[in-house]
Each structure stands twice: as structure tokens, then as C-alpha cells.
Chains A and B, each alone.
Chain A
Amino acid sequence: MIRLEKRPQPSRLWTGLSPVLAVLLTMVFGGVLFAFLGANPFEAIRTIFWDPLFNTQFAGFTRPQLLVKAGPLILIAIGLSIGFRAGIWNIGAEGQYIMGAICGAAAGLAVYPASSFLILPMMILFGALGGWAWAMIPGILKTRFGTNEILVSLMLVYVAENILATASSGFLRNPEGRGFPGSRNFKEWDAAHNAELISGTGMHWGVLFAFLAVIGAYVLLTRHILGFNIRLTGEAPRAARFSGVNPARIVLFCLGISGALAGMAGLFEVAGPAGQISIDFNSGYGFTAIIVAFLGRLHPVGILLAGLLMALTYIGGELAQLMLGVPGASIQLFQGMLLFFLLGVDVFTNYRLRLGQRETA
């Protein structure tokens, strides 16, 4: 008879070990999946996790992509993790990402074709504002009426996608684009281009902001009273209220910061790697960031590593698609499986396995 016994404290060993175990389990089951799809499992796993970094032939091309993909994931996941710590479930980061991109791009395009070093900072600011405002909708509805933020933030993703469709074929469409949908290309406008900072590394302003966010979140959560209150709200809401924490303020702060970071991530993507507002520039980073946040144990440093790993699966997935003909959707499943295994393995963090008969009380 196996039974579970609650640990008085979460195990520190397992907190670190469970993501590693989850990744290994995902590799095993992912390998089985690839075998079913007719690819050599060992080759597939190597293509996904090893080749993008170390293959002599194309690693030079894929390595910069790592930071390009990890930047937005980390930036969004850091924001989400702060909310998740407080038990506030913003799962509409994808919508905030889109709205940030639209607002930031619109602010930039409003002054086209001016050239000033202030344009990109202004766009970043408006990007953050756009994401923030979009996240404030569930925030205010939750604090004012007690509406469930999970459902509202998610519904707003679909609303944002519709706004994106209008923007790319309507009010933000490139007037010189011969009627094709999509905005002006920021890559052709130096003042607004979120260019690579060090060439050949993939490092752009968004990646830099992601690293800053990691440091900021770490300081906030471990060294600041607000971070303490956020953690307290998540772990013991009643205790938090008795100690004078205003729950409404925590809700608004958590949703606001995650929205602003997601909005910035959207703007960096549009002004940099994506280049323009188009109907499908968003590639689901807002949802993958949820996996990143959990895989990183809701801890800033963990999220940094998890973001890099998840970026690797994106690049490796594309590579596997190209080299081995593995369907692209299998990577999405692969990422979902990772979250599943992680949540399952997590049982060891909070519980101890006991074998044998239970003692009589």
C-alpha cells in the first residue's frame, strides 16, 4: 500500500529536482511519440535539444534564435509568475501581448517617418501601457465585482485577436503596401527598429529587458515588503488580510505588472523579429509562457532557465520539422506534456511516499 504523507515544509531537493525529472520524462514519452510518428526517437531528441546549440553545420544560425525566442517568453512568464504566486490567474497574457504590440506600434507609426532616438523608448512605453490597460480590465472587474479573472482574461484574448485583425487590415495597414494586410515594416525604419544590439547573438532590447525583469522580480519577491505580501496572499490569504494587506491592491498590481511586461514583449517582437503588425505575428508566446512560469517554479532564476529551455524546444522543433519531417504540432504537444509531467512529479515536493501498512492511531 502506497500512501502520501504531507511534508511539513516543501522539499528543497525536490523543488529543484522535479523540473529536471519532468524534462527527462517528457524526453522519454516524446521519444515514444516520435517513434509512433515514424521518426527515430534518439535522432529526434538530439535534433531538438542538441543540434540547435552544437551542430557544426547550422548552430551558428540557430543559436541567436535562442535569445530571440527566450526573450518574450521570459518577460511574459516573469509577470505571470508574480500573479501566480499570489493566486491570481492571469491566463490572457496572449491578449495583453497583442494589445501591447498594437498600442506601441500605433504610437510609433503616428510619428512616421520622424527620426529621433526617443521613438523606440516611446513605443516601448506605449506597449507597456497597452498591455497594462488590457490587463486592468480583468483587474478592475475582479476587484470591483469579484468577477473571475481566469475567464475574463482569456475571453479578452479572442477580443484582442479580432482587434489585431482589424488593425492589420485597417487602421494600421501600410498605406504603401498595395492593399496587402500588415503594417509598415519597422525593420526599414531605423528610429523604431528594435535591432540586434550585438550582432550575431540575437540580443535585442527585449532580451535585455527580460534579464532586467528577472533581476527586478528577484529583488521584489525576496527583498521587498510588497513581494512578501504577494507571497503571503498566495500562501495564506486570511493571514494576509489580518496583517493589513489590501487584496484589491495586490490583484491590481499583479495583473498590471504582468500585463505591462506582456505588452512590452509584444512591442519588442513587432518592432524587432516580427517586423510588422500582421494578423498572425503572435505565435502563442502568451500561452507557452504559462508553461515557462511553472517549469521555472515561479522563481525568477528558474524562469530564466525554463525560458531558455522552452525556446530551445521551439527552435529544435522547427529543425526537427525540417530535417525529420516531424509535424510541427508535435512540439506543441511536447510542451504541453512537459507541463503535465511537471505538475505530476511535483507531488514529491509537497508529499512523502510511504510504503507499507498505515499504523493504527
Chain B
Amino acid sequence: MDLSSINPVLLVASIMVSATPILLAAIGEMVVEKSGVLNLGVEGMMITGAVVGFAIAVNTGAPGWGFLAAACASAALSLSFGVLTQFLLSNQVATGLGLTLVGLGLSSLIGKPYEGMKSPTLPKLDLGPLSDIPVLGRMLFSHDIMVYFALALVAGVWAFLKFTRAGLILRATGESHDSAHALGYKVVRIRLAAIAFGGACAGLGGAYLSLVRVPQWTEGMTAGAGWIALAIVVFASWRPWRVAVGAYLFGGVTVLQLNLQAAGANVPVALLSASPYIITILVLVVISARGHHGAPASLGRPFHATT
């Protein structure tokens, strides 16, 4: 095998691109879980975002509209989960699985006519002198806007949860919905807002896959990215910056195994293709062996106001 064919500059650059969809989905899901709701439908929302974003971008010729539509569509889909779990008090695990199945079906239905098409993709940002820095410029400062938007979103979520009153209320809802309710906060409304935000983020992540990362529509193209996003939230112990670290780590694994495949490494291809999933499992084991730190106390528990 020829490792010298792997260019480290391109490697870092492609890690940033491949981490972005997972990062977007994971940071959204983290907010949802912080509010005390476990939405296992990330995969379904992501793939819906991927297909809607692709379809709108192809039809309008503007990837920006694609991203916007993807966020709206996935948020709308996530609200169906919200209505079921918050108003009709259904089991969150089962409903999340249902959301994934609905999303997969819906996406392949919408996407059929778009198979094999090419979409307009996002232009690379020109950051002026930053992009011209010899090595770092190519690595870090020559990406499209969504890569930086995802990182800004992490910072935004971090600041929101840590410094704002609304963030505190959201966290309180997740830790003890009964106390939050007793204090007069609208638990259901807060959670619905969080669910919609999580849906929008997952939609953006999905659209990034189909519009930038690949950029094409193929059925089932998320291939477990939504589930990996869920795992990253656990890995990150529900902390925004660790979500970013986790997403970049997994982005790294994905890109590295693709590069090793291309370089003809002396490892079975199936093992390399499976490695992101195997590593996810290993990381989950290590994290859980240390004990659960930071899971919101009301996570996954249905809330029913009796008074």
C-alpha cells in the first residue's frame, strides 16, 4: 500500500467536510435531549432533508433554497414526532423509530425522479488573505459556508445553554419537567420548540450530504449518519463542544478509511467500510464504562400535567 498518496492537507480539508453533516444533526439532537426528549428519528429527518434539499436545489438552481427547504421540511416532520410524543404521549423510542421508517419511505418516494441528477453545489467561500495562508488556508479556510455555519451553531448553542435565561429554562425542563411545570413554564411548548430545532438541524445536515458531500441523491444515502449523530451526543456527555470534537473524530475515521481504501491498504474493504460503525460501538462502550455523565434526568420520560 502506498500511504504517501494520502495528502495530509486534503485529508484535513475533507475531514471538515465529512464531519459537517453529522455535526449539524448531532448539535440539534443534543438540544432536543437537553429538553428531555429522546428523538431516535434523526436518520429519518436527515434523509428527508437530503432529498428535499436536493429536489429544491435542482429545481431552483440555488443550493441556498435547498438548505432552507430541507430545514423546514425536516422541522415539519419532526413536529409530527412532537405531536405524537408531547400531546398523544406515545412512547418516545417507538415513535422515533417510526419517524425513521417514515422518513426513509418518504425520501425514496420523493427522490425517485432525482436519481442520477447533479445538483448545483455551494461555492467555496473566499476568505481573502486567510485562504491564502500556505497550508492552513487550504486545510481550514477554503470551505463552503455551511462548514463554518455548523461551527458557529455549536458556539451559539453553547452560549444559549450556558448564558441565557431561555437556555436555563430549557435545561430545567430536561432535568425535571415536573419542577419546570410547577414554576409555570410550558413544558410541552418548550419541548416542541426544541424538537423543531433538532429537526431543522438534522435537515440541514442531510441537505449538506446530498448537496455538498456527495453531491447526488441515492436512496438510503445517509447510511446510518443519523444514528452516529445520536451516538455522538452520548459520547459528548451532552456538551456542545464535545459534540464538535466527536463529529470531527468520526468525520476523521470516515475519511481515513476511504483514503485507505483508495490507497489499496492491505485490509479487507468490508472491514474498512464497517470501521466507522465499529469505532462508534467501541467509543460508546468506553463512555458507558465510565458511567453516564450528564444525561438529562428527564430524558425519554413522558410528561403529563395532572394539574
Contacts and interface: CB of A to CB of B under 8 A. Distances in A.
If over half of A's interface residues share one DSSP class (helix, strand or loop), that class is named, otherwise mixed; here it is: helix
Nearest to B107: A329
A165 B281 contact: no
A211 interface: no
B101 A336 contact: yes
B285 A147 contact: yes
A333 B223 CA distance: 18
B284 A165 contact: no
B218 interface: no
A287 B108 contact: no
Contacts of B228: 155
A340 B234 contact: no
A146 B93 contact: no
B91 A287 contact: no
A339 B234 contact: no
B89 A350 contact: yes
B80 A148 contact: no
B265 interface: no
A343 B101 contact: no
Interface in A255-314: 287, 290-291, 294
Interface stretch (B122-130, B165-173, B204-212, B266-274): B266-274
A2 to B, nearest CB: 10
Interface residues of A, number: 44
B182 to A, nearest CB: 14
Interface string A164-207: 01100000000000000000000000000000000000000000
A294 B271 CA distance: 34
Contact of A291 (B101, B104, B277, B304): B101
A145 B108 contact: no
Interface in A1-40: 4, 6
A150 interface: yes
Given A156-B281, A336-B98, A330 B270 contact: no
B279 to A, nearest CB: 9
B256 interface: no
Nearest to B95: A343
Contacts of A156: 277, 281
Contacts of A166: 268-270
A152 B84 contact: no
Contact of A155 (B95, B104, B280): B280
A248 B203 CA distance: 38
B88 interface: yes
B94 interface: yes
A344 B88 contact: yes
B258 interface: no
Contacts of B281: 141, 147, 151-152, 155-156
Contacts of B223: 158
Nearest to B90: A343
Contact of A343 (B94, B108, B269): B94
B230 A151 contact: yes
Contact of B89 (A332, A347, A361): A347
B109 A158 contact: no
B80 to A, nearest CB: 7
A337 B102 contact: yes
Interface in B275-307: 277-278, 280-281, 284-285, 288-289, 291-292, 304, 306-307
Instruction: Name the residue in B88, B280, B307 with the highest tally of chain A Cβ atoms < 10 Å from its Cβ.
Output: B88
B224 A158 contact: yes
Nearest to B88: A347
Contacts of B103: 336
A343 B288 CA distance: 30
Contacts of B277: 155-156, 158-159
Contacts of A337: 102
A332 B231 contact: no
Contact of B88 (A330, A331, A343): A343
Interface string A313-337: 0000000000000010111111111
Contacts of A209: none
B307 A336 contact: no
Contacts of B215: none
A339 B101 contact: yes
B88 A332 contact: no
Given A4-B304, A148-B234, 11 more contacts: A4-B89, A145-B289, A146-B289, A150-B40, A155-B277, A156-B277, A162-B270, A331-B105, A332-B109, A340-B98, A347-B89
14 contacts: A146-B292, A148-B234, A151-B281, A155-B224, A155-B277, A155-B280, A158-B224, A158-B274, A159-B278, A166-B268, A329-B108, A329-B109, A334-B105, A343-B91
In the A-B complex, list the 5 residue pairs whose CB atoms are closest, starting with the nearest. A333-B105, A332-B105, A336-B102, A329-B108, A336-B101
Interface of A: 4, 6, 89, 91, 141, 145-148, 150-152, 154-156, 158-159, 162-163, 165-166, 287, 290-291, 294, 327, 329-337, 339-340, 343-344, 346-347, 350-351, 361
